[in-house]
Chains A and B, each alone.
Chain A
Amino acid sequence: MEEPNLLVICLNAFAAVLILLTILSGALRGLIELFPERGDPNKEAQKFTTTAPQPGTDAAIAVAIATAANAIIPGARVTRIEEIK
């Protein structure tokens, strides 16, 4: 049996992945425009700020704490995270 031309297959496959995901990206943009979040308008304007996680602090935890703090006190800046055992 003749060996398929893998170069053409790979080019087609990569192009298909790029094109399909580009279309999905556009479609998702339409989806979130069609069904926007109807939350507190002040919430939209809240500025998300966080600072450097200290050594030993997981970055994900630092971001989560900063997000929670901002939800309660808009514009708040977390400068220090201390674990009390």
Chain B
Amino acid sequence: MFGISGLLVYLAVRKNYEPLLLIPIGFGAMLANLPAAMLSASSGYHPEPDQTIPLLQLIYSMGIKTQLLPPVIFMGVGALTDFRPLLSRPITLLLGAAAQLGIFVAALGAFYIFGFKAEEAASIGIIGGADGPTSIYLTAILAPHLLGAVAVAAYSYMALVPVIQPPILRLLTTPKERAINMPQARPVSQTAVIIFPIFITVLTALAIPSSAPLIGMLMFGNLLRESGATDRLSKTAGGALINIVTIFLGLVVGATMQGDTFLSAQTLFILVLGAIAFAFSTAGGILFAKLLNLFLPEAKRINPCIGAAGVSAVPMSARVVQKFVSEETDGQVNPLMAAMGPNVAGVIGSAVAAGMFLALLR
């Protein structure tokens, strides 16, 4: 486990793979495996009366078991996210939905091929949403014993988006499709931008109440950002608060990675399934964009590459799409802003998918 801990820190420091999460996770994993240090955390911990609860177990019990920390991260993400690209092209919400395909493919693979239980399979599948807090939120509820492996897989593959997505983009699109230059999106009024988070929260919470903690906090953070009247709160949610919670979340997730449970074939299966989930999610977004193009008039066709940005690794997958398309078209087509639409839609899509799993499996 010390080797794995060191590897995570190395990848974060030298390769810049999601360092904000992988360094706390790697260090937490080291703490958890120090003999007699009492710094591990687990869902099955039950203290004796008058026993002092170990530090990281305390944070786990207060922050993960109570499902507090991931929604707070979502609030920070909302405060940092500009949803205008999505509002200006609402159709890109569909790409954010289709790019959740990998979640369900990986869940089915985990269940029917690898023999995981349904709750475990759902937790593994959610890696395909490419959303760390959502993966932690769902796994902490459905399969807390897999938390470490799922979180490590989710954040590792999010960091590997620039490696995973381009081959799939090349495989599933033609040069002609890559060259589709989408027109500039229409401008969006400030009123619409302010109503948007309220609107999404109410509609989503009414349809799938179990997704409300994630979507509600995401949209609350966004309202703080867009209202123009709560600059201090917005800066706190998207700055100090999200940083503090990220530190706690990473350390505690690392602290769940005890050698006796983490070093198993299950962890390897989870890593394999995570890669499958990512690949299918990317493919789902691209193929759905191609499907939409069959029904759209020539002038309104979508560059199918932006479908790949429907996985919610914001903004990395949008940047990957921009770089890929720009290189493939000698810089003639630059779909960065168009790709941000499905990218932020993917955050909503993965939270809704997690909510559906909770509603159907809990």
Contacts and interface: CB of A to CB of B under 8 A. Distances in A.
Interface of A: 3-4, 6-7, 9-14, 16-18, 20-29, 31-32, 34-39, 43-44, 47-48, 50-53, 59-60, 62-63
Interface residues of B, number: 57
Contacts of A18: 94, 97-98
Interface in B66-125: 86-88, 90-91, 93-94, 96-98, 100-101, 103-104, 107-108, 111-112, 117-118, 121-122, 125
Contacts of A31: 87, 192, 195-196, 199
Given A24-B90, A59-B334, 14 more contacts: A6-B108, A13-B360, A16-B356, A17-B97, A20-B203, A22-B94, A25-B93, A28-B86, A31-B199, A32-B87, A39-B187, A44-B187, A53-B331, A63-B337
B163 interface: no
A13 B105 CA distance: 12
Contacts of B195: 31, 35
Main secondary structure of the interface of A (DSSP, over half): helix
B187 A37 contact: yes
Given A37-B188, A59-B326, A28 B334 contact: no
A6 B323 CA distance: 37
A27 B203 contact: yes
Main secondary structure of the interface of B (DSSP, over half): helix
A30 to B, nearest CB: 9
Nearest to A31: B192
B204 interface: yes
B356 A38 contact: no
Residue of A21, A22, A62 contacting most chain B CB atoms (<10 Å): A21
B192 A21 contact: no
Contact of A4 (B96, B334, B361): B361
Contacts of B107: 6, 10
A6 B121 CA distance: 9
Residue of B90, B100, B200, B204 contacting most chain A CB atoms (<10 Å): B90
Given A25-B93, A52-B331, A17 B352 contact: yes
A52 B208 contact: no
A37 B103 CA distance: 37
Contacts of A11: 104
Contacts of A32: 87-88, 90, 186, 188-189, 192
B330 interface: yes
Residue of A3, A35, A39 contacting most chain B CB atoms (<10 Å): A35
A44 B352 CA distance: 34
B189 A21 contact: no
B203 A24 contact: yes
A31 B186 CA distance: 13
B345 interface: yes
A27 B326 contact: no
Contact of A21 (B101, B188, B336, B352): B352
B360 A12 contact: yes
Interface string B325-346: 0100011101011000000010
